[in-house]
Amino acid sequence: MMERLIKSSLILFVATALAGAVLAAGIRAGAVMHVKPNSIWFDTAADLTHWQELKKADAAALAAFEKDKLGSRDAWQFINPLMMKVVSYQPRTNQVEVEMKTKGRFEGLKMFLDADALER
Round to whole Å and give the CA distance between 114 and 53.
11
In one-letter notation, the amino acid at residue 57 is A
d(CA 41, CA 108): 14
The tens place of each residue's pLDDT in the chain, 120 residues long, gives: 656 645 655 454 444 444 444 444 589 999 999 999 999 999 999 999 999 999 999 999 999 999 999 999 999 999 999 999 999 999 999 999 999 999 999 999 999 999 999 998
pTM above 0.85, yes or no: no
